[in-house]
Amino acid sequence: MDNYECPVCYESCYYHPERKLFHSDVCKHRICGSCLHIHFGENGGGRGERRGFCPVCRTSLTRANYKETDPDMEVLETEKEIRKRVEAIYNSTRERFPDTPAYDDYREKKEDIVYQLVSGTDEAVKRKLEAELRAYERQNTKLIKENKEERKQREKEKIFQIVQREGIFYEVVKRRPALSRTAVDKDQLVHPLERQYAPYFQEEQAAVAVSAESGETARPLNHSIKEDADVPRPRYKNREQFEKAELASGYTPQMVFAKGLSELVGSVLFLLQGKGRSTA
């Protein structure tokens, strides 16, 4: 609850929610609304331009430098920022370690660093950890870059696999309700991941174009595939299995239509039953 305590009057805004808590965007110190009123007046000189000083560190500032704050959200945003920075430096994957316990120790170390930087009270420990982070980043620049590229490649492979497996089936279903006979221009539909990760697909298209111009065969994303014969191909026992496999998850247009019709009938019956009960 210390985050809610005013350093001037030592009153807790947590137990007195009517006391608003403010923080300075200059020195980051907090102060409650009552103490802020005492130091700067009710309106801070009319437009928040009345100069004063921080009652904690005596930094010169104005009333306009103070903004209402939520300590819990401040802690959350701080943790997100620190965790992102630590993860970007300590970014090794499981394959870099001889066994799982060693990898777990590595992950536990990261969590300890995040906890100390976010919730630790010893400033000397925080400064030491910051120095260790900078030293590790400086000494392992090449490794960090390799890990980053490896993570990016894995993410790309996973996204491409999802897009290839699902296609635009669900987009077609969303654009064309079960009872609608309106045609859908499939050329205008793209998978949501293609929009969200557009740079990945642009890079892949550029790589394919370069390979085509140079006469080289485009390399598959799966590095275990060396020859065309290595590409896994599904085997079908009959034409029906083949036709179902052409659609995402095996849903045929007839199945989608029947499912939509069933849900529509169920909704209508539910509304009619509710109307009957209300009139009774």
Q: Is residue 264 part of a domain?
A: no
Same domain as 77, residue 63:
no
Q: Is residue 240 part of a domain?
A: no
Distance CA 184, CA 170 (A): 12
With beta carbons less than 8 A apart as the criterion, state whether 69 and 23 touch. Answer: yes
Both tokens assigned to 219: 């390399």
Residue range 181-219, pLDDT digits in tens? 555 565 667 888 888 888 888 887 777 666 666 655 555
Domain of residue 183, residue span = 168-200
Which residues face 18 on adjacent strands?
none
- For residue 36, which of 21, 18, 17 has the smallest C-alpha distance? 21
Same domain as 157, residue 106:
yes
Residue 27 has pLDDT above 70, yes or no: yes
Q: pTM score, two decimals?
A: 0.51
| CB proximity list for 249: less than 8 A, separation 6 or greater | 166, 169
Same domain as 93, residue 31:
no
Q: Is residue 111 part of a domain?
A: yes
Both tokens assigned to 274: 């509710």
Both tokens assigned to 75: 């802690």
Residue range 149-159, pLDDT digits in tens? 999 888 988 98
What pLDDT was estimated at residue 216?
57
Domain count, the chain: 3
Q: Is residue 126 part of a domain?
A: yes
What pLDDT was estimated at residue 47?
47
Residue 164: strand, helix, or coil: helix
Per residue, what are the HEC states of 111-126?
HHHHHHHHHCCCHHHH
With beta carbons less than 8 A apart as the criterion, state whether 179 and 261 touch. Answer: yes
Q: Is residue 223 part of a domain?
A: no
Residue 220 has pLDDT above 90, yes or no: no
Same domain as 135, residue 83:
yes
Residue reference for tokens 């509710």: 274
Residue range 76-96, pLDDT digits in tens? 888 899 999 999 999 998 888
With beta carbons less than 8 A apart as the criterion, state whether 57 and 28 touch. Answer: no
- For residue 82, which of 107, 113, 104, 103 has the smallest C-alpha distance? 113
Residue 48 has pLDDT above 50, yes or no: no
What pLDDT was estimated at residue 46?
44
* Percentage, residues of the chain above pLDDT 90: 18
Tell me the mean pLDDT in the region 13-41. Answer: 82
Q: Residue 32: which CATH number?
A: 3.30.40.10
Residue reference for tokens 């009333």: 63
- For residue 159, which of 214, 109, 202, 125 has the smallest C-alpha distance? 202
Same domain as 102, residue 77:
yes
What pLDDT was estimated at residue 192?
84
What pLDDT was estimated at residue 59?
86
